[in-house]
Amino acid sequence: MPLAVSRDEGGHVPADGAGVGRGRGAGIGTAASAGPLLTRSLTLVLIAAFVAFLNVNLLLPVLPVFAAKLGGGDFLAGLSTTVFMLATVLAQLRTPRLLARIGYGPALVAGLLLLGAPGVVYLWISSPSAALLVTLPRGVGFGIVTVAFAALVAEVVPAGRRGEGIGLYGLASTLPAVFGLPLGVWTAENVSFGAVFLVGALAAPVGAGCVLAARVRTARPPGDAAGFLAGLARGELLRPFLAFLSTTLATGVLVTFLPLVAPGSGVGSAAAALLAWGVTQSVARLWAGRFSDRFGAQRLLVPSLALNGVGMVFIGFSGNATLLLLGATINGFGFGVFQNAVMSVLVGRVEREEYGMVSTLWNVGFDAGAGLGPLLLGALVSGAGFAPTAAASAVLIFASVGLIIPSGKHKPGRPPRG
């Protein structure tokens, strides 16, 4: 079980049990080691996160269609997603430094404005290249908020309930994918593209308003924050990062290619499988948070990673509705638990000033893996088919189990935290 370190009255995590002192004013930065989890401030932060992820999931499947209708063709249509994810990852790499310089509140407000406000600009766009240009700042904004939200939640929840707090954030970030993706497509087809863009643009004022009301501007990481490469240089962080990357590569394959091999709207369709996958994933993240607080996140890593692999094997039998739904459910549960467990373990292995860095590791692992999966394994799908590709993804996942088996070793003078 992760070491239940206490926090001082300023909300800081003491290093190796020693007290550290620098008080803060009231607001979200005043979490204690014991007390209510879902405070007014944390609730507002979770609402802001929810609308940010809703923006992304509403527009993600719509923008390629929008670009194609503007005359962009299949290449530029697909490039709209690539540009967004590339800008997201590049921004994530710089966000820890940004948090250390200006603090959570200003960073979140800026990120939410960059993510949401350009939605209005789409209303006046008439060329696919212009749509790509507008997508760039949205990706930057999303990169900022994903790192900042995850790091902030990890910092402000009580130390003994950190897993549950991360689980609540996971719920706020995954639920929009369950209904946001189909809702965006339906709205574009039955109402208009403009309606989707306007609803997405609401993320800016609603999210920024929630952040300001939560007073997260009082929370600011002290000192110089470690960067992404510094995290990769540390084995205790690199190993779970690589294992997580194996699961997100598989996720990219699943989300990209399953709709092509299981079209339609029946029980055995990709739509049904992805719905089961999304719902199960959301529930699993919340459950995993509570389990982690009681028994430790480390105990969840190996079994949840194994479930990821088993689920991908079953998903490969996409022609069998029963096996497809079973695989989607198993993989969704395993992936949801593993996401939460990896984040909890990473947070437990660093001090408070490095929460932004481990949040970057987690988010880059998710977004880069989901983006690289189709690129790296797309040729295998074309040449051998979906089932062998799903099996290859499962093999990669199973091979990464060795990266997360506890070795019993840790640095002298520093207790293991997960």
Q: Do residue 176 and residue 316 come from a single domain?
A: no
Q: Is 337 contained in some domain? A: yes
Predicted pLDDT at 78: 67
Q: Do residue 200 and residue 335 come from a single domain?
A: no
pLDDT in tens, the chain (418 residues): 332 222 332 333 333 333 323 233 334 444 444 567 788 888 999 999 999 999 998 998 888 888 888 887 767 776 787 789 889 999 999 888 888 888 889 999 999 999 999 999 999 998 988 999 999 999 999 999 999 998 888 777 877 788 888 889 988 988 898 888 888 888 888 899 999 999 999 989 999 999 999 886 555 555 555 678 888 889 999 999 999 999 999 998 888 788 878 887 788 888 888 889 989 998 998 899 889 888 989 999 999 999 999 999 999 999 999 999 999 999 999 999 999 999 999 988 988 778 888 888 998 999 888 888 887 887 888 788 999 999 999 999 999 999 998 765 544 334 344 4
Question: Quick one: which of 184, 143, 195 has its CA closest to 59?
Answer: 184
Residues 346 and 237: beta-carbon distance below 8 Å: yes
Q: Do residue 259 and residue 154 come from a single domain?
A: no
Q: Do residue 101 and residue 201 come from a single domain?
A: yes
What's at 11, amino acid-wise?
G
CB atoms within 10 A of CB 294: 11
- Residues 6 or more apart whose Cβ sits within 8 Å of residue 75: none
- The model carries a pTM of 0.76
Residues 266 and 321: beta-carbon distance below 8 Å: yes
Q: Is 10 contained in some domain? A: no
Question: Quick one: which of 237, 252, 251 has its CA closest to 336?
Answer: 251
Predicted pLDDT at 225: 56
How many domains are there within the chain?
Answer: 2
Q: Which two tokens stand for residue 308?
A: 């990821």
User: Which of residues 202, 225, 248 is at a domain's end?
Assistant: 225
Q: Do residue 177 and residue 316 come from a single domain?
A: no
Q: Is 416 contained in some domain? A: no
Residues 396 and 250: beta-carbon distance below 8 Å: yes
Q: Do residue 261 and residue 349 come from a single domain?
A: yes
Predicted pLDDT at 31: 42
What is the widest separation between alpha-carbon atoms in the chain?
62
Predicted pLDDT at 49: 96
Query: Residue for token digits 């990890």?
Result: 154
**Distance (Å, rounded) from C-alpha 272 to C-alpha 406?**
37
126: domain CATH number is 1.20.1250.20
Q: Do residue 268 and residue 347 come from a single domain?
A: yes
Q: Do residue 219 and residue 355 come from a single domain?
A: no
For residue 53, the enclosing domain spans 39-225
Alpha-carbon distances, residue 11 vs 2, 152, 218, 308 (angstroms): 18, 11, 11, 35
